[in-house]
Structure 1
């Protein structure tokens, strides 16, 4: 017996304007007005170098001369193209983030349409009521699609990564698109659908290597066998998909391997990086996955787990078999990674959110109400703390919060921003209106259980990216340090006189090149007369220079750091002229 019993009144779809407004509130804060932070500055540095560089920079990604040959070039190509097209209009940083908006829209639409097609299938429909009144298949599919999208937007892991110009962000959206194409292929096997599956796999290969595409292809093949699809036709179509994926990957592999940009071997380095992503499962990987996944996949994983349990007595259900197969295969791939990254978990979110949407209708009303009250209390408290923190930075009250703010961001001068205040106030009022609607009307619609979780998370993000954004920029950006370094650069001429040798991280290198216009040693490398050194204030001045540049003589020109970081230190040196003896 099917575990879901619903009336047509419970399947009212969200108004389209509400979905559009939620999407805008979700993605735009954090893109507009935010400086380059250390988390995504390195990726932006690759895009910026490509947009203002030569063909070699597009074939061998680098950050102002520092090779960055891991992952793949597709995400950086998209950002560089946007800089080329829109940089003159909105600035290079915002132009690169236009690609981030497109990536987010692709992922969100793919999740919605995947859940819609799965939800209107006959095997996913709720029980027929004795006297009628059950929802129509399309209405039920739309409601499940709205629910899946709200769960997807409510996941903490997506919020952390979706506003950054990272390859893992594109990987997550492409995985959602692959899932959609896989569903369409199972519903209507054809050469065209197989080719579109190959398009998704090829794009994934150019984004983060070939391990994930190969894993997804094998998982899809196993699903088709479990669903008793014709083996001969399936194998032929999957061969077509693999061929399309290979042809797309060759768009970069062939010219990069034959032209040897900057006398480098980017494809060989990319292959080594791919092979280094797989090893033997370890206790460390398992602990990291469980520890990070607990919050990264919230609130999708409880609903997805319940879906598996609730539908356990049904067999060969596409809405369970397909997402579960991909979650299992990708989880195994993450566990085999010797050094897993939290951002790599993004590729698990789309199938988890879709499966979670099918678990929600089977949950008891008491569990749904508990989730609602948890969301209301916790998220309202967090929003209140954000407002209090902002008030404290402006007025000095409450005193303890003002003291904490001054300790975290010394010398930061807070100013009242009218636009930021109005946006934050409107979002807060909207939150209370949403809570009042949920509590007073007790709506029967299916997505009522997750609308508060998603809405509260969006409210928190809006408050952070409006009221607290100036303080976050002050602490997390290298803009001020870059400008101080640029102001202390000597006027140098001749080979090596204008370039800087450095040991700073890729993110810092990108920030200094963009904000300060610093010219670093290129990919080929030359002897530079300037040295930018990053170390810790706990080290003696001479020891680090002597270890890194033994036998050379340097004169200190400038020393400084970010006010937010009391241990990190930067020093600018010039090569001393040694008189001939």
Structure 2
């Protein structure tokens, strides 16, 4: 007996795609740069100091650095980073690397939520495209691999996008993801950004594409989840430290815009448009292609992206704090738009993206290999000279495992770019593979060189090595001491992390004094300069060890 199976109930046709390749690429992109390095400026030293303060019994709601409130990192990030540090250090990773696992976790959560949203809003295979586009955006690299709470912001935004995508089929989960994303965003980026996205979500219900019962229920559920939880952090901060609560309320409650007593706006659109060119490539040109091919306001996903981008762009236009990391507010909707018409990308455009990626990343990879030989073997000589100029503290260091990783990445990338019949998705995959290759080479071949240039550890070791033996003995026996001003935050942080000296804050009786000042500055009156140093090519930040002039002849 013959039966008829409707087309929509037939199983999808098999394809030659391999989902595990995306997982392998994401894994290869996530881990280089996490291990075997010190804390890098500008934010990592302060963030890790806040993690240590929390681990040593500090407040769960108030991040502190050197005993002072530090609102530049999310408490949620501190909790997760401290947990990873306790779980993995020292048996599996050093303390710095273990703490960076928090960035990996939140970034992976963001990629998963954005990919799942792409699958539900755009259809089969498009979730992978969304994830690949995000991996290919260079702006996501630093927040995924460095200590800092921007990865939490990315994860929270991705949760919101996933919540929207679930509204038509799973109301309860959609409400939890959307409301939870708003709450996580409020703790990590201030109250103004989630408030703006909440208003955009409410306004979305006025559009015909989103006027269905399940979305209305999702919206009610999301507000029911978010509104009781949004005051939890301010209330907990008020009850644990009232003075810190007022600092947060007056200067940090609205994130980049300040607080109730310091609220500011500025016209920053040109700055963010300029930085968007590199931060969100190839997401923004692919999104522009989709906008030129589709009537966005007639598609549910298109309406969502337009409302989101309009809201976030307005905030970026008015924000007084200019930093490229704020462009992460635009990444989820841009990646969604970029994936929508990726399979329809013209062969010439796909070939151009592929060719441009091959040329750019290929040349960069060749340069990195040449630089590796130059800084370790002195050839090419001119390049070796420049490498020493930018990182004079570097000592040639060739480790077997990083070398094996670097050697393995290069042929895999060459295999990927030699595939034939390149279309849109293959071009984006090759681009993401190129970004992964360059990042992996930098974090294997160049990691010791970069660490010597970006970390304060060589400067601290240089200063302590320059101390005469008699001075070291006097300091160890307690017959002498080194004082430091309370305002020299950078020096206090880095000597706490890398040094062995016990610095005394605001102790004017000490015969020695560590100061933070540009290299080459004269010693203050009544003091004698013993040592000065700075990170390479840094003309504004330096350190000096001084000795009381009256004590030069009396103390060692």
User: TM-score, with normalisation over the residues of structure 2?
Assistant: 0.85
- Aligned ranges for residues 25-424 of structure 1 at < 5 Å? 25-39=28-42, 40-52=44-56, 54-56=57-59, 58-70=60-72, 72-89=74-91, 90-120=93-123, 141=124, 143-185=125-167, 187-188=168-169, 190-227=171-208, 229=210, 238-260=219-241, 265=246, 267-268=248-249, 269-271=251-253, 275-276=257-258, 279-282=264-267, 285-312=268-295, 315-410=297-392, 412-424=394-406
Deviation string, structure 1 residues 346-400 (Cα, Å, up to 9, x no partner): 1211211111001322321111111111111121111111111111112222222
Cα pair distance change 1:517/1:344, threshold 3 Å: farther
Deviation string, structure 1 residues 17-57 (Cα, Å, up to 9, x no partner): 312221121011110112211032222221122112x243x
Match of 1:16 in 2: 19
Deviation string, structure 1 residues 104-138 (Cα, Å, up to 9, x no partner): 21011111101000122xxxxxxxxxxxxxxxxxx
Shift of 1:88: 3.6
Flag the structure with more relative contact order, 1 or 2, with Cα contacts below 8 A and sequence separation at least 6. 1
Cα pair distance change 1:417/1:10, threshold 3 Å: farther
Contact 2:191 2:255 in 1 (8 A): no
Match of 1:459 in 2: 437
The answer to whether the aligner puts 1:442 opposite 2:421 as a matched pair is yes
Match of 1:515 in 2: 498
CA distance in 1, matches of 2:225, 2:477: 51
Deviation string, structure 1 residues 463-513 (Cα, Å, up to 9, x no partner): 10111111101111111223345665763899x96774244455x543332
Gaps of at least 5 residues in structure 2 are 1-10, 552-556
Shift of 1:514: 1.6
Task: Decide which of 509, 532, 539 is 2:514's aligned counterpart.
Answer: 532
Cα pair distance change 1:166/1:518, threshold 3 Å: farther
Shift of 1:571: 1.4
CA distance in 1, matches of 2:288, 2:227: 35
Match of 2:544 in 1: 571
Q: How many residues are paired up? A: 527
What secondary structure does 1:113 align onto? helix
Cα pair distance change 1:14/1:479, threshold 3 Å: farther
Contact 2:529 2:544 in 1 (8 A): yes
